[in-house]
Amino acid sequence: MPTLLHLDSSPLPTSISRELAAEFSKTWNHKHPDGKVIYRDLATNPAKPVDTTWIYSAYTPEDARSAEQKSALAHSDELIAELEQADEYVIGVAMHNFSIPSVLKLWVDQIARNGRTFSYGSAGPEGLLKGKKATLIVASGGVYEPGTPMGAYNFSDPYLRTILGFLGVTDVHVISAGGAAQVMTGAVDRGTFLKPSLDVVRNAVA
């Protein structure tokens, strides 16, 4: 059964990134009527911060972990299982201060784990989530796409591409919805602003 993992990270319930990611899931469902969508809202159900116990637990061999250590990694195991189960990911990203929302970084810290999503060998690090595809839907108040005057301020796309690639996900597509501040100020109608991005999202799935 084809499976899509859908993550949202914006704190705004009616955000641009949420609407576009929802359209992606809806279109994907139409294309895969026999498929399954795993949904996780990182804003309303944030991942837990990594702490000292988590770190020592992660680097303790699995068969030697105590009950406390297993409990410390249970949330990480759950999130990684979703990544392993899914064939494809769509991540709704709201650009915050030129980077990703803090709740999305918490999720990254939980799923980037030696021996589960990557490993170190004689040839160096190797991602273990191979054969997956990811679509990043990034909404930002300004325009930060490559080649624009503010393009160098975009740390969202490069970071997520890098971390996903490190974990073995190299088929990554970015859909940018820059300039959303125009909607918030009323300079542009929301429907007018969204239309081209919605078309891009539907075509990306098709």
What is the distance of C-alpha 13 from the center of its chain?
17
Contact by Cβ (8 Å): 91, 137: yes
Tokens of 39: 């949904």
Are the CB atoms for 42 and 100 separated by under 8 Å?
A: no
Q: How confident is the model at residue 49 (pLDDT cuts 50, 70, 90)?
A: very high
Of the chain, the percentage scoring pLDDT greater than 90 comes to: 93
Average pLDDT on 27-44 reads 97
pLDDT in tens, 88-118: 999 999 999 999 999 999 999 999 999 999 9
Which tokens go with 127? 């991602």
Percent of the chain with pLDDT over 70: 100
Element (H, E) at 12: none
Give the residue extent of every domain in the chain: 3-205
pLDDT in tens, 113-151: 999 999 998 889 999 999 999 999 999 999 998 899 999
Contact 114, 153 (CB under 8 A): no
The CATH class that applies to domain 3-205 reads alpha beta
With cut-offs at 50, 70 and 90, classify the pLDDT of residue 171.
very high
What is the bridge-based pairing of β-strands 124-127 and 118-121? antiparallel
Q: The pTM is what?
A: 0.95
